[in-house]
Chains A and B, each alone.
Chain A
Protein backbone atom coordinates (compact mmCIF):
# COMPACT_ATOMS: atom_id res chain seq x y z
CA UNK A 1 0.00 0.00 0.00
CA UNK A 2 1.42 3.40 -0.94
CA UNK A 3 2.04 6.01 1.74
CA UNK A 4 -0.69 8.27 0.32
CA UNK A 5 -3.27 5.52 0.29
CA UNK A 6 -2.33 4.45 3.77
CA UNK A 7 -2.57 8.03 5.06
CA UNK A 8 -5.93 8.46 3.35
CA UNK A 9 -7.22 5.27 4.94
CA UNK A 10 -5.95 6.33 8.37
CA UNK A 11 -7.56 9.77 7.97
CA UNK A 12 -10.90 8.21 7.05
CA UNK A 13 -10.68 5.83 9.99
CA UNK A 14 -9.89 8.68 12.37
CA UNK A 15 -12.85 10.63 10.98
CA UNK A 16 -15.18 7.69 11.59
CA UNK A 17 -13.85 7.22 15.11
CA UNK A 18 -14.39 10.91 15.82
CA UNK A 19 -17.95 10.59 14.53
CA UNK A 20 -18.50 7.67 16.90
CA UNK A 21 -17.52 9.95 19.79
CA UNK A 22 -19.78 12.74 18.53
CA UNK A 23 -22.67 10.32 18.47
CA UNK A 24 -22.35 9.13 22.03
CA UNK A 25 -25.80 9.29 23.60
CA UNK A 26 -26.74 11.51 26.53
CA UNK A 27 -26.94 8.61 28.97
CA UNK A 28 -23.39 7.51 28.17
CA UNK A 29 -22.13 11.09 28.46
CA UNK A 30 -23.83 11.43 31.85
CA UNK A 31 -22.29 8.19 33.03
CA UNK A 32 -18.88 9.31 31.83
CA UNK A 33 -19.29 12.50 33.81
CA UNK A 34 -20.19 10.45 36.89
CA UNK A 35 -17.14 8.27 36.31
CA UNK A 36 -14.95 11.38 36.10
CA UNK A 37 -16.43 12.89 39.26
CA UNK A 38 -15.89 9.61 41.13
CA UNK A 39 -12.26 9.55 40.02
CA UNK A 40 -11.72 13.17 41.08
CA UNK A 41 -13.36 12.50 44.45
CA UNK A 42 -10.95 9.63 44.98
CA UNK A 43 -8.12 12.15 44.60
CA UNK A 44 -9.45 14.17 47.55
CA UNK A 45 -10.04 11.02 49.58
CA UNK A 46 -6.55 9.80 48.74
CA UNK A 47 -5.05 13.17 49.73
CA UNK A 48 -6.97 13.17 53.02
CA UNK A 49 -5.93 9.58 53.74
CA UNK A 50 -2.32 10.44 52.97
CA UNK A 51 -2.52 13.49 55.24
CA UNK A 52 -3.98 11.37 58.04
CA UNK A 53 -1.28 8.74 57.62
CA UNK A 54 1.45 11.38 57.59
CA UNK A 55 0.02 13.04 60.70
CA UNK A 56 -0.20 9.68 62.47
CA UNK A 57 3.35 8.82 61.46
CA UNK A 58 4.58 12.21 62.70
CA UNK A 59 2.73 11.77 65.99
CA UNK A 60 4.14 8.28 66.40
CA UNK A 61 7.62 9.59 65.68
CA UNK A 62 7.16 12.29 68.30
CA UNK A 63 6.03 9.72 70.87
CA UNK A 64 8.93 7.46 69.91
CA UNK A 65 11.45 10.32 70.17
CA UNK A 66 10.08 11.34 73.58
CA UNK A 67 10.22 7.75 74.83
CA UNK A 68 13.77 7.35 73.57
CA UNK A 69 14.79 10.61 75.29
CA UNK A 70 13.29 9.46 78.59
CA UNK A 71 15.02 6.07 78.29
CA UNK A 72 18.31 7.79 77.43
CA UNK A 73 18.06 10.21 80.36
CA UNK A 74 17.19 7.34 82.71
CA UNK A 75 20.19 5.41 81.39
CA UNK A 76 22.51 8.36 81.93
CA UNK A 77 21.13 8.86 85.44
CA UNK A 78 21.66 5.19 86.28
CA UNK A 79 25.21 5.24 84.91
CA UNK A 80 26.14 8.36 86.85
CA UNK A 81 24.61 7.08 90.10
CA UNK A 82 27.26 5.97 92.70
CA UNK A 83 27.72 2.24 92.46
CA UNK A 84 28.86 -0.34 94.99
CA UNK A 85 32.41 -0.51 93.60
CA UNK A 86 33.04 3.00 94.98
CA UNK A 87 32.27 1.93 98.54
CA UNK A 88 35.48 1.02 100.47
CA UNK A 89 35.73 -2.71 101.03
CA UNK A 90 36.09 -2.25 104.82
CA UNK A 91 32.80 -0.43 104.99
CA UNK A 92 31.17 -3.10 102.84
CA UNK A 93 32.38 -5.81 105.14
CA UNK A 94 30.99 -3.88 108.08
CA UNK A 95 27.63 -3.59 106.42
CA UNK A 96 27.40 -7.22 105.38
CA UNK A 97 29.00 -8.82 108.44
CA UNK A 98 26.90 -10.66 110.92
CA UNK A 99 29.20 -9.80 113.89
CA UNK A 100 28.09 -7.49 116.60
CA UNK A 101 28.30 -3.87 115.54
CA UNK A 102 29.79 -3.05 118.98
CA UNK A 103 33.01 -4.72 117.84
CA UNK A 104 33.30 -2.30 114.95
CA UNK A 105 32.51 0.69 117.10
CA UNK A 106 35.42 -0.21 119.42
CA UNK A 107 37.72 -1.20 116.62
CA UNK A 108 40.00 1.75 117.16
CA UNK A 109 40.32 0.80 120.80
CA UNK A 110 41.26 -2.78 119.92
CA UNK A 111 43.76 -1.54 117.35
CA UNK A 112 45.32 0.70 120.05
CA UNK A 113 45.47 -2.21 122.50
CA UNK A 114 47.21 -4.33 119.90
CA UNK A 115 49.66 -1.53 119.21
CA UNK A 116 50.39 -1.15 122.97
CA UNK A 117 51.03 -4.83 123.38
CA UNK A 118 53.41 -4.84 120.41
CA UNK A 119 55.32 -1.88 121.93
CA UNK A 120 55.66 -3.52 125.23
Chain B
Protein backbone atom coordinates (compact mmCIF):
# COMPACT_ATOMS: atom_id res chain seq x y z
CA UNK B 1 0.00 0.00 0.00
CA UNK B 2 1.28 3.48 -0.73
CA UNK B 3 0.11 7.01 -0.27
CA UNK B 4 -1.49 8.49 -3.38
CA UNK B 5 1.29 10.43 -5.05
CA UNK B 6 -0.94 12.91 -6.87
CA UNK B 7 -1.42 16.08 -4.93
CA UNK B 8 0.99 15.11 -2.17
CA UNK B 9 3.94 17.03 -3.60
CA UNK B 10 4.29 20.41 -1.99
CA UNK B 11 2.20 19.54 1.06
CA UNK B 12 3.57 20.01 4.53
CA UNK B 13 3.86 17.11 6.96
CA UNK B 14 0.43 17.65 8.54
CA UNK B 15 -1.27 17.74 5.16
CA UNK B 16 0.63 14.68 3.92
CA UNK B 17 -0.25 12.87 7.12
CA UNK B 18 -3.91 13.76 6.70
CA UNK B 19 -3.81 12.50 3.10
CA UNK B 20 -2.38 9.25 4.35
CA UNK B 21 -5.02 8.88 7.04
CA UNK B 22 -7.77 9.58 4.49
CA UNK B 23 -6.32 6.90 2.23
CA UNK B 24 -6.38 4.20 4.90
CA UNK B 25 -9.21 5.07 7.28
CA UNK B 26 -12.03 3.19 5.56
CA UNK B 27 -10.13 -0.06 5.10
CA UNK B 28 -8.76 0.23 8.62
CA UNK B 29 -12.29 0.66 9.93
CA UNK B 30 -13.56 -2.37 8.00
CA UNK B 31 -10.66 -4.46 9.30
CA UNK B 32 -11.47 -3.39 12.84
CA UNK B 33 -15.18 -4.16 12.32
CA UNK B 34 -14.34 -7.64 11.04
CA UNK B 35 -12.03 -8.21 14.01
CA UNK B 36 -14.36 -6.87 16.71
CA UNK B 37 -17.82 -7.29 15.18
CA UNK B 38 -18.68 -3.93 16.73
CA UNK B 39 -18.71 -0.50 15.07
CA UNK B 40 -18.03 1.57 18.18
CA UNK B 41 -15.07 -0.57 19.16
CA UNK B 42 -13.84 -0.44 15.57
CA UNK B 43 -13.96 3.36 15.55
CA UNK B 44 -12.11 3.44 18.89
CA UNK B 45 -9.41 1.16 17.49
CA UNK B 46 -8.97 3.28 14.36
CA UNK B 47 -8.77 6.45 16.46
CA UNK B 48 -6.22 4.89 18.83
CA UNK B 49 -4.10 3.71 15.91
CA UNK B 50 -4.26 7.08 14.16
CA UNK B 51 -3.46 8.98 17.36
CA UNK B 52 -0.46 6.78 18.11
CA UNK B 53 0.81 7.21 14.57
CA UNK B 54 0.52 10.99 14.50
CA UNK B 55 1.91 11.56 18.00
CA UNK B 56 4.81 9.13 17.77
CA UNK B 57 5.71 8.68 14.12
CA UNK B 58 4.70 11.89 12.32
CA UNK B 59 8.38 12.72 11.89
CA UNK B 60 9.02 9.50 9.95
CA UNK B 61 8.96 9.51 6.16
CA UNK B 62 5.58 8.90 4.47
CA UNK B 63 6.87 5.56 3.16
CA UNK B 64 7.29 4.40 6.76
CA UNK B 65 3.73 5.24 7.76
CA UNK B 66 1.80 2.32 6.17
CA UNK B 67 3.79 -0.49 7.87
CA UNK B 68 3.86 1.46 11.13
CA UNK B 69 0.14 2.12 10.99
CA UNK B 70 -0.66 -1.53 10.32
CA UNK B 71 1.63 -2.64 13.10
CA UNK B 72 -0.16 -0.29 15.49
CA UNK B 73 -3.57 -1.42 14.19
CA UNK B 74 -2.80 -5.11 14.65
CA UNK B 75 -1.41 -4.52 18.13
CA UNK B 76 -4.44 -2.44 19.10
CA UNK B 77 -6.80 -5.12 17.77
CA UNK B 78 -4.98 -7.82 19.72
CA UNK B 79 -5.15 -5.68 22.87
CA UNK B 80 -8.88 -5.24 22.31
CA UNK B 81 -9.24 -8.98 21.79
CA UNK B 82 -7.49 -9.76 25.09
CA UNK B 83 -9.56 -7.18 26.97
CA UNK B 84 -12.80 -8.43 25.47
CA UNK B 85 -11.95 -12.01 26.45
CA UNK B 86 -11.48 -10.88 30.04
CA UNK B 87 -14.67 -8.79 29.88
CA UNK B 88 -16.66 -11.67 28.42
CA UNK B 89 -15.27 -13.97 31.07
CA UNK B 90 -16.39 -11.58 33.80
CA UNK B 91 -19.76 -11.09 32.10
CA UNK B 92 -20.27 -14.81 31.97
CA UNK B 93 -19.14 -15.16 35.59
CA UNK B 94 -21.50 -12.50 36.93
CA UNK B 95 -24.22 -13.06 34.30
CA UNK B 96 -24.17 -9.41 33.16
CA UNK B 97 -26.64 -8.34 30.49
CA UNK B 98 -25.68 -5.93 27.72
CA UNK B 99 -28.84 -4.47 26.23
CA UNK B 100 -27.23 -1.48 24.57
CA UNK B 101 -28.17 -1.23 20.91
CA UNK B 102 -25.83 0.40 18.42
CA UNK B 103 -27.74 3.55 17.26
CA UNK B 104 -26.04 3.33 13.86
CA UNK B 105 -27.89 0.06 13.21
CA UNK B 106 -31.20 1.90 13.08
CA UNK B 107 -30.01 4.64 10.69
CA UNK B 108 -30.95 4.38 7.02
CA UNK B 109 -28.24 3.81 4.43
CA UNK B 110 -27.94 6.97 2.39
CA UNK B 111 -26.14 5.41 -0.59
CA UNK B 112 -27.99 5.09 -3.86
CA UNK B 113 -27.90 1.46 -4.92
CA UNK B 114 -30.47 -0.60 -6.75
CA UNK B 115 -32.21 -3.11 -4.47
CA UNK B 116 -30.89 -6.09 -6.47
CA UNK B 117 -27.31 -4.89 -6.47
CA UNK B 118 -27.54 -3.96 -2.83
CA UNK B 119 -28.86 -7.41 -1.98
CA UNK B 120 -26.12 -9.20 -3.94
CA UNK B 121 -23.39 -7.01 -2.52
CA UNK B 122 -24.76 -7.19 0.98
CA UNK B 123 -25.08 -10.95 0.86
CA UNK B 124 -21.53 -11.35 -0.40
CA UNK B 125 -20.15 -8.88 2.09
CA UNK B 126 -22.04 -10.38 5.00
CA UNK B 127 -21.01 -13.88 3.99
CA UNK B 128 -17.39 -12.81 3.71
CA UNK B 129 -17.57 -10.99 7.05
CA UNK B 130 -18.99 -14.08 8.72
CA UNK B 131 -16.34 -16.29 7.15
CA UNK B 132 -13.55 -13.91 8.18
CA UNK B 133 -14.93 -13.64 11.70
CA UNK B 134 -14.89 -17.43 11.87
CA UNK B 135 -11.12 -17.44 11.43
CA UNK B 136 -8.70 -17.17 14.30
CA UNK B 137 -7.55 -13.60 14.91
CA UNK B 138 -4.10 -14.35 13.53
CA UNK B 139 -5.46 -15.97 10.35
CA UNK B 140 -7.88 -13.09 9.89
CA UNK B 141 -5.17 -10.44 10.27
CA UNK B 142 -2.72 -12.25 8.00
CA UNK B 143 -5.35 -12.76 5.32
CA UNK B 144 -6.49 -9.13 5.34
CA UNK B 145 -2.97 -7.74 5.25
CA UNK B 146 -1.84 -10.09 2.51
CA UNK B 147 -4.96 -10.28 0.34
CA UNK B 148 -6.43 -6.83 0.85
CA UNK B 149 -3.55 -4.55 1.74
CA UNK B 150 -1.29 -6.31 -0.74
CA UNK B 151 1.54 -6.76 1.72
CA UNK B 152 4.15 -9.40 1.02
CA UNK B 153 5.13 -12.09 3.53
CA UNK B 154 7.96 -10.03 5.04
CA UNK B 155 5.86 -6.87 5.46
CA UNK B 156 3.02 -8.89 6.98
CA UNK B 157 5.39 -10.58 9.42
CA UNK B 158 6.71 -7.17 10.49
CA UNK B 159 3.22 -5.74 10.93
CA UNK B 160 2.11 -8.80 12.89
CA UNK B 161 5.28 -9.14 14.91
CA UNK B 162 5.67 -12.82 14.01
CA UNK B 163 7.85 -14.99 11.77
CA UNK B 164 7.48 -15.24 7.98
CA UNK B 165 6.86 -18.97 8.32
CA UNK B 166 3.98 -18.24 10.67
CA UNK B 167 2.52 -15.80 8.14
CA UNK B 168 2.66 -18.41 5.37
CA UNK B 169 0.97 -21.01 7.54
CA UNK B 170 -1.79 -18.67 8.73
CA UNK B 171 -2.41 -17.39 5.20
CA UNK B 172 -2.67 -20.87 3.72
CA UNK B 173 -5.04 -22.04 6.46
CA UNK B 174 -7.12 -18.87 6.16
CA UNK B 175 -7.62 -19.33 2.42
CA UNK B 176 -8.57 -22.97 2.89
CA UNK B 177 -11.07 -22.13 5.65
CA UNK B 178 -12.58 -19.26 3.66
CA UNK B 179 -12.92 -21.41 0.56
CA UNK B 180 -14.76 -24.03 2.59
CA UNK B 181 -17.08 -21.50 4.20
CA UNK B 182 -17.82 -19.47 1.10
CA UNK B 183 -18.72 -22.34 -1.16
CA UNK B 184 -21.96 -21.49 -2.90
CA UNK B 185 -21.48 -17.72 -2.77
CA UNK B 186 -20.34 -15.71 -5.76
CA UNK B 187 -17.06 -14.99 -4.01
Contacts and interface: CB of A to CB of B under 8 A. Distances in A.
Nearest to A46: B55
Contacts of B110: 25-27
A7 B4 CA distance: 25
B104 A27 contact: yes
A19 interface: yes
Interface string B11-54: 00010011001100111011000000001000100110011011
B50 A36 contact: yes
Interface residues of B, number: 41
Contacts, number: 102
A19 B121 contact: yes
A80 interface: no
Nearest to B107: A27
Interface in A34-52: 35-36, 38-40, 42-43, 46
A71 interface: no
Interface of B: 14, 17-18, 21-22, 25-27, 29-30, 39, 43, 46-47, 50-51, 53-55, 58, 104, 107, 109-111, 113, 121-122, 124-125, 128-129, 144, 147-148, 175-176, 178-179, 186-187
